[in-house]
Structure 1
């Protein structure tokens, strides 16, 4: 029994594998988030992605605007409900879409938990098109009947319930109400009324229409007309509903002459048409116009001995033969098709055509057309290849490129996704381009976009500030140009460049030049001030010792002279050479030492120094004394920025194997925007008695250590200073030597 069950299990597995492989329906297995786990061959054919490309993709076949709807369906299926026959739109790899009928079912593990979903997709685009065509056909039929010049009358148990305008006019009435409900036999001459009643009784419940019967029609004004009447049953056997097709034949001779003229015109049109026209009856061509003969390279007599299977590729003939059969049986009135034909010399020709049923010499036949579309097929293939090459070129171009329509993003290549730090296209596509541009730049960018739509020339690169998906701003340049006929629209293509590094390099160069100039100025200025300062201080002390009564004034003078001396010392720090002692030092130890030094000042100002430095930080290559000076300057500034008290938080962490990050954050009033961008310049300070040289010295020391210092501040929200220092970096001079500190 166990062997039998095992055999059945293997058989079921084989059947499942066979179904996955050979079914014409696309099958996809996704996890609960919509990530593709497995697809079958039919899915690859249906969507254009290979199995290797599809696996791991998130909702690849679902348009971005339908992601929420699909995830909701996934949730319902994950809760145990199957989704059958869900009609939606699916995407292909090339960006096109098709109508699909989808069935979703849960996949459960041994414990009955839903672990994945399986979807079965069927392309119903043709069905949708057929439904649309059917609705249009019904509407055309209604309009045909209503607007038909031929009188049409509907009878139910001999009483008139419908008459089209032509029939109302034929009966001599002004409106349908005049004939509605009347027995139609009242309008037939007495000599024909019995015959018509017999025909109707004979046809009741049948599916056959009567032959055309000549009769006399008695109009409401009692005048008579010669008419032909055809009776057509409208329902199944037993029904009393009939449709009468009438024709006024009083002017038959004139009509026959007109008909002959029409036939001659038709023959002339068909014989000279630039489309192949044929009549197909009893498995052979019984008529072929000259264009058809030339199209396939046969003479007229040769063509009349051919079957359609001779001039149509066998593979395509099988499908067309089915259409032809259904058309002959009356199940299809007309059907367009596309096939590959075979000329007499063996050359392939791509054709489009239309087939409809007709009668020829009293027998059912097919009337069809062939149009040579080879040039169109070749052109479309070349266009597709060109479009694919263009799309691939744009997609992988290293320059960020964004396509927008009236400011709405339609497409972004990989470089643009990287620039905007977007994880998926849905974060960009469909959103306003201005959502990612800083508000101050909206007006000039809109002006540029309006201008490029009026010319074929690209705009000049304009500096803007971009707000990335993660909220971080970056400096960029943008140039735009107009593109015609993109998905049927005139759109704007914008090329973006990240200039953040360039701007930072420019700022560093300017700051370096300022430091150099200030250093040179400080060297000369400090030298010139120090000599007279020493004399002033000495003579002031001498005068103080001789005049005890004015000691207060002399003390004030000495205090101010000492303040001048401190400023001169700051200048000398910038200007004089210092001996750098580089070696490996521990940042935790430096911070603890600095915090212990400044803790007394912090307590006096009601400020708490909070250290959150990671304990396991590696030693870095540095000059400890210089870094301590930087930490003292920055933490002291943070303390002094909070005269009413608060917290100063110091954090230190390792961002990667090569770099440490130290942050010093206060809760002060912040720095105004007008000053924040210029911090580090000499004599720029927010303190009433400061010189701005401390921050400038700190910048200088950090640059000597190949690091960087960034200041971020918001008014009334405090200031954060971030230092990035290399772990194994080397000083500007590899051996301890004098440098401008």
Structure 2
């Protein structure tokens, strides 16, 4: 219904306001006060007037009237009080003869009547209270239903004016109670085409039930409602009012509309669905879409409407489907997807997947089944299962071949690889015997075999060497690189029959290929016909490939092992050479530096005798010569110039240079040679000592020359003069005695010259001797043996190695002192004391000879002592001689050790 109506609500029976309640209470209480005042007034009149009987009856009348207002307790109190008062008053009047005695008889009668009236009034009061309580309960219930009802309720009077509406009505129309109370429904209900129909129904039936209409609230929104109206009528048929109940069905109407739209969409969705949808009731098809008709083999849906769903179920599934549909109908629970077979109209079968749920179709129970054609999926699953089975077989074969490959690669020797190949072949393929031949120069050499001892061919097969030209099958396999199979050797003309191989009935040869090169052949023999299948060939080919890799790996491993052994030997030799070279470098006292062509330090080694050059190695490798601290720019330029010249000319460059070091000025000699491409090796040697020795040697030569000139020259000149005198003066020779004396003197001069030469020669060979104590002790023993005196030597402190020049000068001084002891001292014992301190060497020579006076040192003829002092001064030493007559002589030499010694290390035996 779409009528546009606004309904009113009329006459709530409970309309008392608070003022009206107050008024009722006040009226009730007023009656009670009036009764009490009337009783009081009547009692006063009874007591003070002669008409006592009249007022006596008035009291009882008032009490009877009050019985309908007072409760039991107030009534009893008042009745007892006033009955007692009136009775006493009447009795006094009788005693006073103002009233007849017959009047006293009315008192009990009136009291009884009063009590009966009270009980009647009490029963009426209780009934009124019960009625009032019932009305209150009804009113409370009515109020609760009226106000709390979800439906709108409207009450109107007989003139159709609105008396009351509930809150639901106000909420529905969006207005207040004052907006509706008192309005005629004709002003509330606006024009509607069905308004007349509504009035006709009201006049005919006296009520209207679920009349559909559309209201419009204050905001202008439409509210769809169902209207139910009842009349209130009196017993005589008069209309007292109207009660209307309005139910808002807007949400339900929207739901119905949404449901209708949803159903339309659902029907369109089913019509467009790729899945087949069938609706069936009582096992008959009521509706289906086009995909369902296609699945069942129909060209249109009308061909299947009305047919039984069981007509299309495969007989193998019929009983199961009937049971399942019965369960759906009884329990109203859907069935999930299950797989079945349907029979199409053309009697072909189709695999389907079907799910069924209970629904309501056209107002009655039905079922909806969703059907999916899974025939392509079934075919795909079958194909997939076939592929999976094939894959499993391939994977199993791959795993086996992988294990085979690992087993083959685990072998490192050639023979072990061949044996492993035959072993793995036996695990994969059944055969009677097998062999591996290697191809070399068009010949087949049996490398390994297995199983031939069972056919008495072991010795033959072990020594067999075949030519490819004699075996066409093997030759073809080598040329083509393809596997060849002979199912029956008796029927294959290519088979070369030999007596020893007559037992072979089937044969297969697999080339062992490494890229395009055939390394050998794997040949399997069987005593049965048709032993080898295509599956066996498929297994042998990957094995042959793995075998080729394993054989090549084994060959490479053997080569690598041999190369490694050769390399180890070469490295051993290189280590020996390097050790020798290192030993040579370690004993070389010179410093060795490696420079690039631009003067950059590449490597270095500082020798024992060139420790002073250690500052050159302080910078890190890669430092230029000009950046080295402690090296002057001039010297760096000299180095760089000679390095460049060495690289350019490829000739050895030699130059000297000096360095001012904390120890003093040191002289060095540098040799530069080409060491490699754009590299130079510099060998630097400390030549300070060599220069000092050279200078000392020159000085010693000059001194010896002067000494020879002053001593030996004079002696030889004297001898020459004497000889000239004897030889040239023929007639004037001295007398024999005089001549003898001259000759003795000449002999002494010659002996002196001889001893002088010997001492010079001994001193010249001093550099080949050992340490100072050993040299001095050896010389003292020789002179002591000759001069017949004993020698005792002591050496205190840490022995130092003196430079050759210093040691030679000390030896000369010591030798001269020993010669003096031998010639003049007549000593029996000579003590030599050598004392080494931190900064000084002290050598003492003490004899127990005759001694001499100290003042004779400076007299002429003691040239030896003078020479001793000169030698001591040349080496910055101090010589002192103390002598006492008849006691002996002490010669002391003190020598500073700074810059002339080094710590002594005894030679290692």
TM-score w.r.t. the length of structure 1 is: 0.30
Give the structure with the higher percent strand.
1
TM-score w.r.t. the length of structure 2 is: 0.25
